[in-house]
Chain A
Amino acid sequence: MNHVRRFLATPEGMAGGLLLLGFLLVALSAPFFFPRDPLSIAGPALLRPFQDWSLPLGTDRLGRDVLAGIFHGARTSLAVSLAAASASIAVGAIVGTLAGFAGGAVDEVLMRVTDAFQTVPGFLLALAFVSVVGPSLGVVVAAIALSAWTGPARIARAEVLSIRERDYVASARVAGMHPLEIAFREILPNALPPVLALASVIVAQAILVEAALSFLGLGDPNRVTWGGMIAEGRAVLRSAPFLSIIPGIALVLTVLGVYLAGEGAVEASAARRSLA
């Protein structure tokens, strides 16, 4: 509870926390407020916002409810970004731990692979992957994770290299513990905090990459996404700019919220360290 209080005491934490809370509520309540398929036609086409209170944010070119799209799009963003961040942190932590703990040739090979992934711009990698495998939610998640695991891997490796020399690792060896158990039970949990600190950056990045892929028509076609809505609205940008602006605002606020919350968490833990 103390963590939460300190987190909310920072202005970044407060603002980020509120934005994230809004995002979560919107995403989680979508099927409750908008049980109908958000891709189905709800009214006349190109209805402007605030005209009809049963369709508060209006409709798009095909008469689909924009507000329902925002709610269900938040769900897609949430699912994709959480899954991609978890996957990339898990893969990165495992690769980094193995590299740092095994050392020698294993370390060399794993880190060259990490370098190779890191030199290709992440978005291009995701783009290439989705174009080859075909767009679906799982593929989009894998594509984002593919470009985002290198950061966690590097940080985990650096952490493991310093923990490896600690006395308690020697003590685990003297107890006869298997090297894999030492790596994943003794070392990895203690190497994790700085890796988890990357989570907010990866989540924000994942939301943006997913939106960009959808904007290019490479998102899951069976799901509403904010990137897809922005792309939809582009065709009528002059006559109905709100169709692109509304999902754009949702995207900016969410990414800002994730970023600020991450900053708040860093500040809060720095405050704790200076208190201790």
Chain B
Amino acid sequence: MSAHLLDVRDLGKRFSRNGRLVTALDGISLTVARGETLALVGPSGSGKSTLGRAILRLIEPDRGEISFEGKNLLGLNSADLRAARARLQMVSQDPQAAFNPRATVARVIDDPLRIHGLGSRTERPAMIARLLERVGLSPDLHRRAVHEISGGQRQRVAIARAIATKPSLIVLDEAVSALDVSVRGDILELLADLQRDENIAYLFISHDLGVVRAVAHRVAIMDAGRIVETGDARTVVADPQSATGKALVAAVPKLRYRAATEKA
């Protein structure tokens, strides 16, 4: 049992590729509180997506423990895991790839409602309409195929699907990285809004420290499968202690400037 919403202990995962072992996660421990945004940053290949996928149980870690809402996530059998997924959702970077190419907007949002038994067949269309409105889309969009709508609209549909089952944690893996700057701001605002209203926690995977500084409460910096630094998001971005953190901040000119002036 843990007081935290999510409590990850000593998670390890190795992949074998062309006969060589790659250590993607090397003893990761972290916690996320209810309603909190924990940002996960780090260079490419540091294991951020692997960690997110392990927490979602899309891949099985080799060792470690994951406690979510007090449940031992790695110990659940497949039926219990499917039921638990209602509370643990994901939004990924490329919503085009994240949807079945044949799906319509309505079906994409209907799936989680139907699977988790929320609403009867006759009630669900109204629920879908409400969810579309909640993410700032017109309910008329429900008939459209997912490949017919814009990237920003698609990401909103992905968010509607994720919040359909009232999750307490959403893993956002580079969820705004592929969007235009203007659309990105709107989506971040929507996410902040949802967090305020429904007390959803986010594991916000990103390589954009500017965005992280604006949206995250805390940040964990990863390198080579380990967490090398954690702390308050603004503090860490302003004055990183680890070499990896310093390098990440140095790579963003605007932040480097801001860090220099804030320190002075």
Residues of chain A touching chain B, judged by Cβ–Cβ distance below 8 Å, are 166-168, 170-179, 186, 189-190
Contact = CB atoms under 8 A, between A and B. Distances in A.
Interface stretch (B31-39, B92-100, B191-199): B92-100
Interface string B76-116: 00100011011011101010011111110000000110011
A176 B97 contact: no
B216 interface: no
A177 B98 contact: no
B100 A168 contact: yes
A174 B115 contact: no
A167 B58 contact: no
B161 A175 contact: yes
Interface string B149-166: 000000000000100010
Q: Do most interface residues of chain A lie in helix, strand or loop, or is the interface mixed?
A: helix
Contacts of A166: 97
Nearest to B96: A167
A175 B85 contact: yes
Given A167-B94, A170-B58, A175 B112 contact: yes
B56 interface: yes
B201 to A, nearest CB: 16
9 contacts: A167-B97, A168-B98, A171-B161, A175-B115, A176-B86, A176-B112, A176-B115, A179-B78, A190-B100
Given A172-B111, A178-B82, A190 B101 contact: yes
A177 B56 contact: no
Nearest to B100: A168
Contact of A174 (B85, B97, B101, B103): B85
B111 A177 contact: yes
Nearest to A179: B78
Given A175-B112, A175-B161, A176-B115, A167 B92 contact: yes
Nearest to B107: A185
A33 to B, nearest CB: 43
B253 to A, nearest CB: 32
A178 B56 CA distance: 16
A171 B83 contact: no
Query: Across chains A and B, which 3 residue pairs bring their CB atoms closest together, nearest first?
Result: A176-B85, A167-B97, A176-B82
